[in-house]
Amino acid sequence: MGEQAILKKKSKFDKRLIAVIMPLAWPTILEQALQTVVQFIDSAMVGRLSANASAAVGLTQTVTWLLNGLFFAAGVGFLAVISRAIGAEDRDRAQQAAGQAVLAAVVMGLVIGVVGVSLSFVLPTWLGCAPEIRADATAYFLIINLPMLFRAAIILFGAVLRATGDMRHPMLVNALMNAINVVLNFFLIYPSRTMNVFGLEIPIWGAGMGVAGAATATALSYVIGGVLMTGLLIKSDRGVSPKREHLRPNREILKRCLQISLPNAGERTVVCLGSTVFTAMVASLGTVSLAAHSIAITAESAFYVPGYGFQAAATTLAGLTLGEGDRDKLDRMSETLLRITVFCMFISGLLLFLFPSALMSFFTKDPQVIAQGAVALRIVSVSEPFFAVTLSLEGVFNGVGDTKMPFVISLCSMWGVRILFTFLCVKVWGMGLTAVWMCMIADVITRSLCMYTRYRRGRWQDGLFDHSQAAHQ
């Protein structure tokens, strides 16, 4: 199909596909919502200890995100390969790929775990933390990295199950993990105390471990989640329960997974490092601006929940449809997902625009922080539909294994738009937080337009269906 023909083709929106999309999207939306709520509760529970405790936990978050990102990137590769095999009804290839996912989880879990544990003794110093929080920061990062093998199982085996269209079981495991984390926080962070419940004084046991208690609660929830996710994979009746013979390395499958995963890992690294530099420049604006920025970022994340749910559905459905070899269905599925995601995030953006001060007030009572954060949230609300385009199309591209161009787009947009213009605004022109967030939405809109242009031109489909059958032979 020529480029001009693709540009001129009629809308492929198909409302009948909503019944296929929603059962895959809602478990992930609920999972993301629960994780966001628990993140808020977790931060509040640690924050009750002291500002130093919050700083110790938050110091290494970017590195934790980067390490987890390597597992998620690998998961994208296995999800794309397995969903295509299942769509093509190639059960043996799906099981072989699942076996390779088990090998990857073991190797990556052990290697990244050793790296994480080793870094824990030097990372806080490298990041320039204050001496008074160094011990807590080291203990926190060390403890959460000890069960890295289980973290690998949660992410990679969850991706394998999602590749089959099973979104519900990974959601239930993650929901249980979150609940366990909150309950253990309650008992491990604080010392023994007495609580007043309806006039009754009830003694509550507590370990009084502080920051180390929060880390231990997180680590134990990883262990439980990893064991449960492994059990679900072994007991799966969707054609991905790996047999012993599938646990030998398969060069062809591993090579294909790497071809998909490496650009995705590069994209995550680019965004992570860019976000670190971006935050450092915001920090130079002063404490109030940094607090407003940090809280606004946290508040805004709650409004991404629908987008990430539909992105997960898009990845699975694109892979399954590619395996079926149905180009028209892939077009209809992609367009339908795109429009639903944009509509949902337009609504969330509208709420963000209408109630920014109320949202900021939930996290802080400082009037200066609320005022600056409210302006930032109003600005970013405009970009929510654009971010929806990026999320949904990235899901489609990941599902068909097209991860190179999204990596290039993210690299150019993050560093060529957000970082460059934030540097000019802050360091050269002496502008404030409002200008910084304008640079951020310029990055979001640029990335969205580039992704949409690539989608409309159709070049991402070149060769997909010509080689879809050969991929399973």
The residues near 90 (Cβ < 8 Å, ≥ 6 apart) are 323, 472
Predicted confidence at residue 344, as pLDDT, reads 93
Helix residue ranges per DSSP H, 199-355: 211-235, 251-283, 287-301, 305-324, 327-354
Q: How far apart are CA 407 and CA 402, in angstroms?
A: 10
Q: Is the pLDDT of residue 447 over 90?
A: yes
Phi, psi of 353 (to 5 degrees): -70, -35
Coil, helix or strand at residue 203: strand
At 204, is the pLDDT very low, low, confident or very high (cuts 50, 70, 90)?
confident
Q: What is the mean pLDDT of residues 211-219?
A: 91
Number of other CB atoms surrounding residue 395 within 10 Å = 26
CA 279 to chain centre: 19
pTM summary value: 0.83
Answer with the residue of higher pLDDT: 38 or 472.
38
Query: Quick one: which of 392, 374, 291, 376 has its CA closest to 338?
Result: 392
Q: Is the pLDDT of residue 238 over 60?
A: yes
| 148 touches 133 (CB < 8 A) | no
Instruction: Indicate the range of 152-156, 241-245, 405-409 predicted with least confidence.
Output: 241-245
Quote the percentage of the chain above a pLDDT of 90.
51
Q: How far apart are CA 288 and CA 162, in angstroms?
A: 42
Q: Which two tokens stand for residue 379?
A: 């600005």
| 387 touches 342 (CB < 8 A) | no
| Count of helix runs (H) and strand runs (E) in the chain | 20, 2
Query: Quick one: which of 214, 161, 152 has its CA closest to 189?
Result: 214
| 94 touches 239 (CB < 8 A) | yes
Predicted confidence at residue 1, as pLDDT, reads 42
What are the tens digits of pLDDT across the range 332-384?
Answer: 999 999 999 999 999 999 999 999 998 888 777 788 888 998 999 999 999 99
Q: How far apart are CA 392 and CA 174, in angstroms?
A: 22
Q: What is the mean pLDDT of residues 52-71?
A: 81
| DSSP string over 277-299 | HHHHHHHTT-HHHHHHHHHHHHH
